Amino acid sequence: MSNSIYTPASDRYINSVGYQYCGKSGLKLPLISLGLWHNFGDVDDTAEALKMIHFAFDRGITHFDLANNYGTPYGSAEKNFGQIMKDHFSAYRDEIIISTKAGHDMWEGPYGDGSSRKYLIASLNQSLQRLNVDYVDIFYSHRYDATTPLEETMGALSDMVKQGKALYIGISKYPEDKAQEAYQILKRNGTPCLINQDRYNIFTRHVEQNVLPLAEENGVGFIAFSPLAQGLLSDKYIHGIPENSRAAHSYGFLQKNQITPEVITKISKLNEIAAQRGQTLAQMALAWCLRTPEVNSVIVGASSVEQLQDNIDAIQNTSFSNDELWRIGELG
């Protein structure tokens, strides 16, 4: 990666994406956060990755979302972002929110997966080394693990904060009852849960019933991942599967068999609604998530500066008529 000196845009907080308080905390998150799940590993274009980080920060995107096993191979997204931090952002660390996670498969053996204290603390220590930082701003339990007592998992998270290795803690993809239990344990520990991260998009709306109300009731923020349904909620797949798309990669989570004729028909109709609103489908999908007050931020996984700009432009129109919401809901 280039070692050229980087000077951020001086108006990055004037012409920014905008910010919202995360739950009942004093922490503001940008309405759009940049996720490094895809496109920042060793198999990806590192020059484009650097351009996207610069471009994002120049537009007030201060939150970068990672996990221990992001990138191909595992750990490479953190390692590559850590190099960018060291070479380009060391003077701006206090302006940046870095989040990472552990909970899924990371290394071989009995201690490289799950939610044990052993795994979570070891993983955070490894993440700090790869990221070239002394602390992360947010550390998540990446998933609920029924084989580990919740008190053990939450106790490990609380200790991370007390040790100064994480400023805040969160949970991701927890069942509603376990999320409520986690909130209570963390509050008793004196380290309240800052944020809940879950999948939310036009095609996946389960969080509306219980997750969002429960988070709000407990003063916990909410951030949506996969707001574009792995790229399905864009015009990318209307005319087939592009060569460099996620569905074209064998190592991606979006598989070709998910792009059925029925799905393409829905995408095409949603694209028509977006065009009537003067938006791309991706912009409408992001705006649709952000229309909900409980959603503090959406995580986008752009593959180019142009795509990231398109995503940022979504915030120009986040209001929907009742008719639009009904039509979109019928296709969800």
The string of pLDDT tens digits covering residues 257-296 is 667 889 899 999 999 999 999 999 999 999 999 999 999 9
Phi/psi at 172 (5° precision)? -140, 135
Instruction: Encode pLDDT of 287-316 as tens digits.
Output: 999 999 999 999 999 999 999 999 999 999
Fold of 19-331: TIM Barrel (3.20.20)
Q: How confident is the model at residue 248 (pLDDT cuts 50, 70, 90)?
A: very low
Domain boundary assignment for the chain: 19-331
Q: How many CB atoms lie within 10 A of CB 166?
A: 27
Alpha helices in the chain (DSSP H): 46-58, 76-84, 117-131, 150-162, 176-188, 211-217, 261-276, 281-290, 305-312, 322-331
Residue type for 91, please? A
Region 33-52: mean pLDDT is 96
CB atoms within 10 A of CB 269: 14
Beta bridge partners of 170: 140, 195
Which residues, in sequence order, are CB contacts of 329 under 8 Å at separation 6+? none
Structure tokens at 39: 């496109």
Its pTM stands at 0.93
Query: Each residue of 158-210: pLDDT tens digit?
Result: 999 999 999 999 999 999 999 999 999 999 999 999 999 999 999 999 999 99
- Nearest 5°: CA angle at 330, between 328 and 332? 70
